[in-house]
Structure 1
Amino acid sequence: MTKKSGLFDVDFSLTTKELTASIKGEKSTAARYKLFSEAVGAIISQMEVSGYRPRTIKDYDTVLMNFSRSTGVTYLEKITVDTIYSRLDSMHIVNQTKLTRLKVLKSFLGKCFTNGWLSLNFWQSM
């Protein structure tokens, strides 16, 4: 017999405030104000666990950190379509490279949406 370690135990307890907010359809404060750098770290970790290639992970990290640095975005909620387009417009690179950078950013935002950190998938129309 093996001894249970509790490694995969999940705690589903919610505070009264969180439960009330979820019933009303509100997001918690932590979900509404997720730091961009924390989101990147979490997504990179998820990608590593999922078996993405190291080169892909490095490229995601580089593209996302350059986006954050150049636009000054610190919170996920500050990213808008205008922010994305202005960043792409300011880059003096070939259009195919811009498309690749956009694809990385859209994929990242999709993962953030799936994790519940963004409430609206505004980038789908891009």
Structure 2
Amino acid sequence: MNDLVIRAATPADLDAVLAFWKEAAEGTSISDDRDGVARLLDRDPESLLLAEREGQLAGTVIAGFDGWRCHLYRLAVHPGHRRQGVATALLRAAEERFTALGGRRGDAMVLEDNELAHHAWRAAGYAPQPEWSRWVKPLATSR
């Protein structure tokens, strides 16, 4: 694990991250495009955390903080790096970021059918909240 480096993404990483998500992430989002990720980095440059091993992208997590809540998205680990502590290291880095910003609770968006992800989240101490329903509405964008 000592060879794993966690760092914030930069605009130069956008294309690599998007390609990585196509391979390593379960499902896609309407905001999984260059403009969407660029807006994230413009608004919160430290929010997209990358895990690298020997210069190769091994995992990602978005650790967004809006000043009130801590939101976790896009925890993804490359299939060749799974079960090696990458997700745990990313979540630890996200939690450290949140703590430094004054955050008090991490809320994660996890696909219901992604059992592999459920294991990683549980191992990191997160638990599903069945009493909460998540309602989603895609928003129109102005360009």
TM-score normalised according to structure 1 size: 0.36
Q: Over alpha carbons, which structure has the higher Rg?
A: 1
Which structure has the higher relative contact order (CA within 8 Å, separation 6+)?
A: 1
Q: When you count helix as a share of all residues, which structure comes out higher?
A: 1
TM-score normalised according to structure 2 size: 0.33
